[in-house]
């Protein structure tokens, strides 16, 4: 029996599911009033008050999506902000990274400022962006862009710097112009670095959107969470967090998909076929 259930490649998904069920099971056991005698809190209801109850959280999510259907508008806004921040931040980071990596003098001039801006805790800019761009989508996108930009920028910069000099010299001898070098050598060589950064930056774009909403907005999932916190509705807060997490995973998987199709030239470990 154990032979079939033992963790292996085949049963990977099942075991991942088991971990999920265990987490929610423990959560349920420890929080639902009266299920277990209380040992940490002074009264039965306090655990539920502080941590929420999974069943009520799922019920909340069910209402959001299927019964009231009122989450779609908020989710749409949050996703729009995320995608815009991700797209704009990545494009800017890519462009700036390529530019500075290919012109060392400009890189030397801007170096201290880039380091300073990267070191700055940029979340603190959110209120300023709200003043500049209003409480709508734009201020959240701006915050997300400042988060995404630096991750992509540093990775592209590194990626271009690490292009093999032999491959570069070879492409030049084959007659590549400066533009062709950029398009056919620097960019592809930097892509593997860019993709490793895109996984991080999708998450950061999400953070930018939600934190922006949390600090001041009239719609979005961050706004929902803020509202619920105002009335100590911990179940709704947790439900919001769960929904956000699932969508962050979906976005990350999408990036992974694109990466896989674009990076098929990269060697993979143990690539052999059993006939």
Partner 1 sequence: MSVAALELEGVSCTFVAHEGAAQRYTAVRDVSLVVEAGEFVSVVGPTGCGKSTLLNMAAGLLAPSTGQVRVFGEPLAGLNRRAGYMFQAESLMPWRTALGNVMAGLSFRGMADDAARALATEWLQRVGLAAFADRYPHQLSGGMRKRVSLAQTLVLDPDIILMDEPFSALDVQTRQLMENEVLALWSEKKKAVLFITHDLDEAIAMSDRVVILSAGPASHPIGEFRIDLERPRDVAEVRTAPRFVELHKAIWDVLREEVLAGYKQQLSKAA
Q: By the 8 A CB rule, do 239 and 246 touch?
A: no
The residue range among 34-42, 104-112, 145-153, 259-267 that interacts with partner 1, by the rule CB under 8 A, is 259-267
The residue range among 6-14, 81-89, 111-119, 263-271 that interacts with partner 1, by the rule CB under 8 A, is 263-271
Instruction: Out of 37, 175, 230, 270, point to the residue binding partner 1 (CB under 8 A).
Output: 175
Token pair for 174: 């084959």
Backbone angle region of 200, left / alpha / beta, with phi > 0 → left and psi within -120 to 50 → alpha: alpha
Contact call for residue 161 and partner 1 (CB under 8 A): no
Contact call for residue 230 and partner 1 (CB under 8 A): no
Contact call for residue 177 and partner 1 (CB under 8 A): yes
Least Cβ distance, residue 167 to partner 1 (angstroms): 6
Contact call for residue 274 and partner 1 (CB under 8 A): no
Q: By the 8 A CB rule, do 200 and 138 touch?
A: no
Least Cβ distance, residue 114 to partner 1 (angstroms): 22
Instruction: Out of 116, 166, 269, 275, point to the residue binding partner 1 (CB under 8 A).
Output: 166
Based on CB atoms, which residue is closest to partner 1, 73 or 178? 178
Q: Could you please report the per-residue DSSP string of 15-28?
A: HHHHHHHHHHHHHH
Instruction: Out of 189, 233, 247, 255, point to the residue binding partner 1 (CB under 8 A).
Output: 189
Q: By the 8 A CB rule, do 244 and 206 touch?
A: yes
Token pair for 17: 């599911």
Pick from 152, 131, 117, 141: which is nearest to 210 by CA? 141
Q: By the 8 A CB rule, do 75 and 159 touch?
A: no
Token pair for 8: 């292996």
Q: How many residues would you count in the chain?
A: 275
Least Cβ distance, residue 182 to partner 1 (angstroms): 12
Pick from 170, 215, 259, 221: which is nearest to 60 by CA? 221
Instruction: Out of 6, 115, 184, 260, point to the residue binding partner 1 (CB under 8 A).
Output: 184
Q: Rounded to whole angstroms, how far apart are CA atoms 142 and 144?
A: 5
Instruction: Out of 106, 108, 169, 254, point to the residue binding partner 1 (CB under 8 A).
Output: 169
Least Cβ distance, residue 194 to partner 1 (angstroms): 13
Least Cβ distance, residue 262 to partner 1 (angstroms): 9
Based on CB atoms, which residue is closest to partner 1, 135 or 168? 168
Token pair for 38: 């209380």
DSSP 171: H
Contact call for residue 264 and partner 1 (CB under 8 A): yes
Q: By the 8 A CB rule, do 59 and 117 touch?
A: no
Instruction: Out of 103, 180, 196, 227, point to the residue binding partner 1 (CB under 8 A).
Output: 180
Contact call for residue 188 and partner 1 (CB under 8 A): yes
Q: By the 8 A CB rule, do 202 and 255 touch?
A: yes
Based on CB atoms, which residue is closest to partner 1, 124 or 173? 173
Which stretches of the chain bind partner 1, using CB under 8 A?
A: 164, 166-167, 169-177, 180, 184-185, 188-189, 191, 264-267, 271
């Amino acid at each position: 029996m154990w032979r079939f259930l033992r963790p292996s490649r085949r049963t990977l998904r099942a075991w991942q599911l088991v971990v999920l069920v265990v987490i929610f099971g423990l959560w349920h056991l420890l929080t639902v009033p009266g299920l277990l005698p209380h040992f940490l809190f002074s009264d039965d209801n306090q655990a539920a008050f502080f941590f929420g109850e999974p069943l009520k959280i799922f019920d909340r999510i069910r209402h959001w999506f299927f019964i009231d259907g009122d989450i779609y508008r908020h989710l749409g806004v949050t996703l729009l902000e995320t995608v815009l921040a991700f797209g704009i931040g990545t494009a800017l980071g890519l462009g700036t990274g390529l530019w500075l990596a290919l012109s060392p003098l400009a890189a030397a001039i801007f170096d201290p400022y880039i380091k300073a801006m990267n070191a700055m805790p940029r979340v603190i800019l959110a209120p300023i962006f709200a003043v500049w761009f209003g409480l709508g989508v734009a201020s959240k996108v701006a915050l997300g862009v400042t988060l995404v930009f630096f991750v992509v920028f540093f990775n592209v910069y590194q990626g271009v710097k690490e292009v093999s000099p032999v491959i570069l010299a070879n492409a030049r001898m084959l007659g590549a112009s400066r533009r062709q070098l950029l398009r056919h050598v620097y960019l592809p060589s930097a892509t593997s670095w860019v993709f490793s950064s895109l996984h991080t930056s999708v998450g950061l774009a999400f953070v930018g959107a939600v934190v922006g909403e949390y600090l001041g907005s009239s719609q979005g999932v961050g706004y929902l969470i803020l509202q619920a916190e105002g009335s100590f509705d911990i179940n709704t807060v947790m439900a919001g967090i769960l929904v956000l997490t699932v969508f962050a995973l979906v976005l990350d998987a999408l990036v992974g998909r694109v990466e896989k199709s674009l990076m098929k030239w990269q060697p993979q470990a143990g690539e052999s076929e059993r006939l």
